[in-house]
Amino acid sequence: MKSIVTFGEIMLRLATPDYLRFGQTDRLTATFGGGEANVAVSLANYGLPVEFVTRLPQNDLAVACVNDLRKYGVGTRHIVYGGERLGIYFLETGAVARASKVVYDRAHSAMADVRPGMIDWERILHDARWFHWTGITPALSSGAADACLEAIAVANRLGVTVSTDLNYRKNLWQYGKKASEVMPALVAGCDVILANEEDAEMVFGVKPEGFHVERTAGHIEPAAFESVCRQLIARFPRVRKTIITLRGSVNANHNTWSGVLFDGQRLHCSPSYDITHIVDRVGGGDAFMGGLIYGLLSFPDDDRRALHFAVAASCLKHTVYGDYNQVTVAEVEKLMAGDASGRVAR
């Protein structure tokens, strides 16, 4: 079976425990995570062959990181080595009215210093059927953006499906170019676009009229985003499907979660899940993307089912600590079937 390839930066995640603030804690919990690596772990959990491509330094932290990915069944044979350091991000988990905070320490990381020509995309993508990247990668540096564009061009030429999660991170665009300048050329080579309620507006100025994310009060009307999907497909003719995740925020621990998928003609809407006790929402969008790729490949003639799988998978991720969504296909399908009781499985 041909593999799925994801490309991006993986980082050391250092998180405060027990909802403590940065200034309160004397210890941090160390794990690994990053958008494209999180997608890869989801796909490996679902039994699909997946390769994660990145650039890592040659040190013990990188060895630990690679071993962690391999533990979940993610392929690491195409990782390239060089550069000075592994990127780090610090997480302070919010509670109720206090939002979570992320502090990045990833300047001059091995991945931020990647350049075109360092990765043999011809060899990597020759036996691939899907290539996935996110808007985080081109935000790191001009070199990372160019390397990503290089990969997309090869994937397009080889007939490999390309997907992106727009994933706008304003704090990362620091090298002199705006997302609106860099992203269009990259997205033009994509077949599938994923965004949240704000990404399309922040990157392309596309937004639903009258929508304000801070005023959702836990409810978002899915139909309002059909116009966003139509505008994205009109702007990027190669795109076949546009998907929007919809998060209604009651508070930091209580969200509603749903999504829509537009196939160029019809808008599919998912059920809305009421997530009342969030364990960890970081990686929720990546869990959605992993579920979506699995769904589109497994149910190629049923976009509605693919969407429902992605939303249910991501809902479950909110109950799992860490960046990775460590759930199985059976667990996702159980929730899709309506079993949200949480009863002990004996």
Set out the domains of the chain in order of their start, with CATH numbers. Answer: 3-336 (3.40.1190.20)
Which of 297, 209, 293, 218 has the alpha carbon at shortest distance from 258? 218
Residue at token pair 């949480």: 342
Whether 174 contacts 144, CB under 8 Å: no
Dihedral over Cα of 37, 41, 43, 48: its sign: positive
Q: What share of the chain is helix, strand, coil (3-state, %, to 5)?
A: 35, 25, 45
For residue 251, give Cα distances in angstroms to 216, 255, 272, 278. 11, 7, 16, 10
The reported pLDDT for the residue numbered 231 is: 92
Q: DSSP class of residue 245?
A: E
List beta partners, residue 6.
Answer: 52, 132
**Cα 93 to Cα 22: distance, rounded to the nearest angstrom:** 10
Q: Quick one: how far is CA 152 from the chain centroid?
A: 17
Residue at token pair 């004397």: 26
Whether 120 contacts 126, CB under 8 Å: no
Tokens found for residue 317: 């991720």
What are the mean pLDDT values of the chain's consecutive 10-residue runs (346 residues total)? 95 96 96 97 98 98 98 98 96 93 93 97 97 97 98 98 95 92 97 92 84 58 85 95 92 92 94 93 95 98 97 97 96 89 55
The reported pLDDT for the residue numbered 93 is: 92
Phi and psi at 65, nearest 5°, equal -65, -50
**Cα 42 to Cα 327: distance, rounded to the nearest angstrom:** 8
Tokens found for residue 187: 């997205």
Residue at token pair 């009863």: 343
